[in-house]
Amino acid sequence: MNEQVIQWGRSYTDASIAALVGDGRVHSRVYTDPAIFELEMERIFSSAWIYVGHESEVSKAGDYQMRSIGRTPVLMVRGIDQSVRVLINRCRHRGAQVCETESGNTKFFQCWYHGWTYDSTGALVSVTGKEGYGDRLNMKEMGLSQAPRTGSYRGFVFASLATDGESLETFLGNAGPIIDLLVDASPTGEIYADGGANKTEYLGNWKLVGMDGYHPHFVHASVFAAMHRNPEAGIGATHREDPFEDTARTRTLDFGHGHAMLDFRKHRINHYEPHAQFLKKTKGGAEYIEAMHKAYGGERARLLLSLGGDPHLGIFPNLQLIGNQIRIITPLACGLTQVTMTAVRLGGVSDEINAMRLRQHESFYGPAGSGSPDDAEIFERVQRGMAAEVNPWVEISRGMDREQTDADGNTVGLISDEVPQRGMMRYWSELMTASRVPQRSLA
Ligand code: FES
Ligand SMILES: [Fe+2]
């Protein structure tokens, strides 16, 4: 892409992009300008580590999931050799997508256009009328392309379209071990993202979703009202101390690289006992608690059980681990975003415990849930409001004067502080500065 992008009469240089993110404020064009979205596709989604899927979604040889990295269609496939690959879903003949099904199991991907056929490792195994190419076609070199770099952390598969750049481990940094808070909610350290997913699309920018501890009392007022009416019921039993009050032990955390967390650890562990009592009401609950203490020891087990596998973590730019779900954010246009929420099943626990967790997920995050539809609605209202360019700055300075740095170098604020928003936009600005873009191979 040229250094200058011109669309709708606007051109952006490194300096003019940097100027869109100010001290505690962001210009709304960051969310509304299609030219910025084009640059994001190139400089973020074609460069950074992007979450693709969880290994448990392709547990058997031949299992595949159709995903995307920005605009690049990809397939996460477990090959006949048991390796999980991220293959580019593009026929090496004349470019058609070879797979059009969201997920499934197959020995071969046969292109719909002229029938070239690839196996589950991506190797080209058959070409219709091959003799027509004479000696020109080396089938060994014409397999489905692979994402230049792939990496995995505890089953979470990431890929990058950039041929070089920092390692996945460096990219995740201090946020990596936070993923453990979900995986280790299982006494065997196994999660399965195989229970299907609910998807939603909202007419708003992809950067609006997640990691906001300031909004719940307003957007989710009806949920709080229900909890206050019946504090002993369900998860309400663990929320006698409102986690979204700034007086609570909850915090916002910015890990760098745009990764951020609403940190409920100190709050939840303070409510371990009522939460354990709640678990015991479900068949297998007492055994679950015992298995967790055996696997991880007292203090860690209490923390993991209190959190219930909910790290409330955002890994920039497209992965969020919230509640009992793996959430993928897929930007479709600057004002259109798809959110996929896949509920997680824990290994080593009773079906009843997993069913209870799934019901909790549905009750807040499901299509008819009490939470997510309200979130999608508010994002659409934000997007409509931001079309105004009179006083176009979005304010994200809340808590700037009280944020601190913890011993691990993370920035910490109170739960309602806009620490995650500032962290995300700081990294956004870094990536969007052309001089930092890693080289991509055009081969
Ligand atoms: S485009 Fe795939 S076989 Fe022709
Ligand atoms: Fe919300």
Ligand 1 centroid distance, CA of 226 (Å): 56
Are 59 and 134 found together in one domain?
yes
Nearest to 260 by CA among 158, 50, 412: 412
| DSSP result, 61-103 | TTEEEEEEETTEEEEEEE-TTS-EEEEE-S-TTT---S--SSE
**Which residue, 96, 128, 160, sits at the end of a domain?**
160
Could you tell me how far CA 104 lies from the centroid of its own chain? 22
Element of type H or E holding 228 = helix 221-229
Q: Which ligand is nearest to the CA of 320?
A: 2
Are 135 and 210 found together in one domain?
no
Residue 285 and residue 292: Cα distance in Å, rounded?
11
Does the beta carbon of 114 sit less than 6 angstroms from any atom of ligand 1? yes
**Strand order in 50-54's β-sheet?**
50-54, 156-160, 149-153
Ligand 1 centroid distance, CA of 311 (Å): 44
Are 115 and 193 found together in one domain?
no
Are 173 and 319 found together in one domain?
yes
Q: How many domains, in total, are found in the chain? A: 3
User: Strands 259-263 and 411-414: what pairing?
Assistant: unpaired
Which pair of structure tokens corresponds to residue 439?
């080289």
In ligand 1, the atom with minimum distance to the C-alpha of 111 is: 2
Are 269 and 401 found together in one domain?
yes
CATH of the domain at 65: 2.102.10.10
Ligand 1 centroid distance, CA of 16 (Å): 42
Q: Which ligand is nearest to the CA of 92?
A: 1
Q: Which ligand is nearest to the CA of 370?
A: 2
Are 147 and 182 found together in one domain?
no
Are 199 and 90 found together in one domain?
no
For 139, what's the count of Cα atoms within 13 Å in the CB-facing half-sphere? 16
Whether 441 maps to a domain, the answer reads no
Ligand 2 centroid distance, CA of 152 (Å): 29
In ligand 1, the atom with minimum distance to the C-alpha of 116 is: 3
Does the beta carbon of 137 sit less than 6 angstroms from any atom of ligand 1? no
Residue 42's pLDDT is 94
Residue with CA nearest ligand 1 atom 1: 94
**Which residue, 127, 143, 160, sits at the end of a domain?**
160
Does the beta carbon of 91 sit less than 6 angstroms from any atom of ligand 1? yes
* Exposed e or buried b per residue across 215-226, where buried means at least 16 C-beta atoms within 10 angstroms of its C-beta: ebeebbeebbee
Are 137 and 240 found together in one domain?
no
Residue 162 and residue 146: Cα distance in Å, rounded?
12
Whether 235 maps to a domain, the answer reads yes
Residue with CA nearest ligand 1 atom 4: 114
Does the beta carbon of 113 sit less than 6 angstroms from any atom of ligand 1? yes
**Which residue, 139, 160, 181, sits at the end of a domain?**
160
Collect all residues with Cβ–Cβ distance below 8 Å to 166 and sequence separation of at least 6: none
Whether 443 maps to a domain, the answer reads no
Residue with CA nearest ligand 1 atom 3: 114
In ligand 1, the atom with minimum distance to the C-alpha of 94 is: 1
Domain housing 248: 168-428
Per-residue pLDDT tens digits of the chain, which is 443 residues long:
333 433 444 688 888 999 999 999 999 999 999 999 999 999 999 999 999 999 999 999 999 999 999 999 999 999 999 999 999 999 999 999 999 999 999 999 999 999 999 999 999 999 999 999 999 999 999 999 999 999 999 999 999 999 999 999 999 999 999 999 999 999 999 999 987 899 999 999 999 998 999 999 999 999 888 888 876 655 544 556 789 999 999 999 999 999 999 999 999 999 999 999 999 999 999 999 999 999 999 999 999 999 999 999 999 999 999 999 999 999 999 999 999 999 999 999 999 999 999 999 999 999 899 999 999 999 999 999 999 989 999 999 999 999 999 999 999 999 999 999 999 999 999 999 876 555 555 55
Whether 442 maps to a domain, the answer reads no
Nearest to 2 by CA among 334, 427, 434, 430: 434
Are 353 and 316 found together in one domain?
yes
In ligand 1, the atom with minimum distance to the C-alpha of 98 is: 2
Does the beta carbon of 109 sit less than 6 angstroms from any atom of ligand 1? no
Say if residues 27 and 36 touch (Cβ distance below 8 Å): no
Does the beta carbon of 130 sit less than 6 angstroms from any atom of ligand 1? no
Mutation probe of ligand 1 site: the residue of 97, 116, 144 with most atoms within 8 A of C-beta: 116
Does the beta carbon of 436 sit less than 6 angstroms from any atom of ligand 1? no
Ligand 1 centroid distance, CA of 88 (Å): 14
Are 35 and 127 found together in one domain?
no
Are 398 and 338 found together in one domain?
yes
In ligand 1, the atom with minimum distance to the C-alpha of 95 is: 1
CATH of the domain at 253: 3.90.380.10
Are 257 and 406 found together in one domain?
yes
Ligand 2 centroid distance, CA of 211 (Å): 9
